[in-house]
């Protein structure tokens, strides 16, 4: 996939990078990335992937822009309050980089639609704010063999990791899945940003880290956060990581309407 003269000028700083260069930029142009969530984490993810020249961005979000979003969801503007977030984000992408194509999904993901959306993309990045969707997306990406970058934030803290559980590591052991890190959804109510608040810039830090992971996966640069959970404490400015491995009882999930997977995961698979 060749680059136009306008793209050569636009991406000149990428082209100068020895590890990216023309071949890496062409991979970005050819890539299709699904961004689940167009809110706080989704904002920097979407903007940096668009600026980097990812050819197609799929945007999933069923919410509309509200005034309280604008303290951290910088992909949106005051003028777009009341507009669907996917439409607002698409406007920003078009203004930032006309070489990027957008596909909009103003829906809430569920067991009926997740496979049909996820399977259309090369990489999935999850910036949602609830565990139900996080588990749903992780299971779907695993079953459909799509790389997944997932990030989470609360108050002054955040985390990010990368998942490719359908592959094996250098030691021949299967790589860990999301359920190896968190086997089950948390029980009871988990506090939301609307209840406990969040420092706006925290989503910028974690969303940007997630975007970096996506760009690395596409270009093949560096070592992704596979089997490592990167944890960021903005309040005391500390960064740490913990390793996690494949659980022996991990069962590959299937998704309704998907083309991959052999064993059922109750959240996604059709029950008999």
Positions marked catalytic: 193
CA 269 to chain centre: 22
Q: Which strand (E) or helix (H) includes residue 102?
A: strand 101-105
Contact 47, 127 (CB under 8 A): no
* 216 burial level (CB within 10 Å; 0-12, 13-18, 19+): middle
Between helix 200-219 and helix 21-30 the angle, nearest 10°, is: 110
DSSP state of 135: H
φ, ψ for residue 190, nearest 5 deg? -100, 125
CA 212 – CA 222 distance, rounded (Å): 10
- Here the tokens at position 154 are 């609360």
Q: Comparing C-alpha atoms, which of 141, 62, 46, 161 is closest to residue 100?
A: 46
């Amino acid at each position: 996939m060749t680059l136009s003269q306008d793209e050569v000028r636009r991406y000149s700083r990428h082209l100068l990078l020895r590890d990216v260069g023309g071949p890496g930029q062409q991979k970005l142009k050819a890539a299709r990335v699904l961004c689940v969530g167009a809110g706080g984490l989704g904002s920097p993810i979407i903007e940096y992937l668009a600026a980097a020249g990812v050819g197609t961005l799929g945007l999933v979000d069923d919410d509309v822009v509200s005034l309280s979003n604008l303290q951290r969801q910088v992909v949106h503007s005051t003028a777009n309050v009341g507009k669907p977030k996917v439409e607002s984000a698409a406007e920003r992408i078009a203004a930032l980089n006309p070489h990027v194509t957008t596909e909009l999904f103003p829906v809430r993901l569920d067991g009926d639609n997740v496979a049909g959306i996820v399977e259309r993309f090369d990489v999935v990045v999850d910036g949602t704010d609830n565990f139900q969707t996080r588990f749903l997306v992780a299971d779907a990406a695993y079953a459909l063999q799509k790389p997944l970058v997932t990030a989470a934030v609360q108050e002054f803290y955040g985390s990010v990791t990368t998942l490719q559980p359908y592959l094996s590591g250098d030691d021949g052991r299967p790589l860990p899945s999301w359920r190896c890190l968190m086997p089950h959804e948390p029980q009871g109510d988990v506090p939301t940003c609307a209840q406990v608040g969040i420092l706006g810039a925290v989503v910028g830090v974690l969303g940007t880290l997630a975007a970096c992971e996506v760009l690395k996966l596409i270009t093949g640069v560096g070592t992704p956060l596979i089997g490592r959970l990167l944890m960021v404490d903005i309040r005391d400015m500390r960064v740490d990581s913990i390793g996690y491995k494949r659980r022996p009882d991990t069962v590959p999930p299937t998704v309704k309407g998907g083309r991959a997977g052999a064993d059922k995961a109750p959240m996604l698979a059709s029950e008999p």
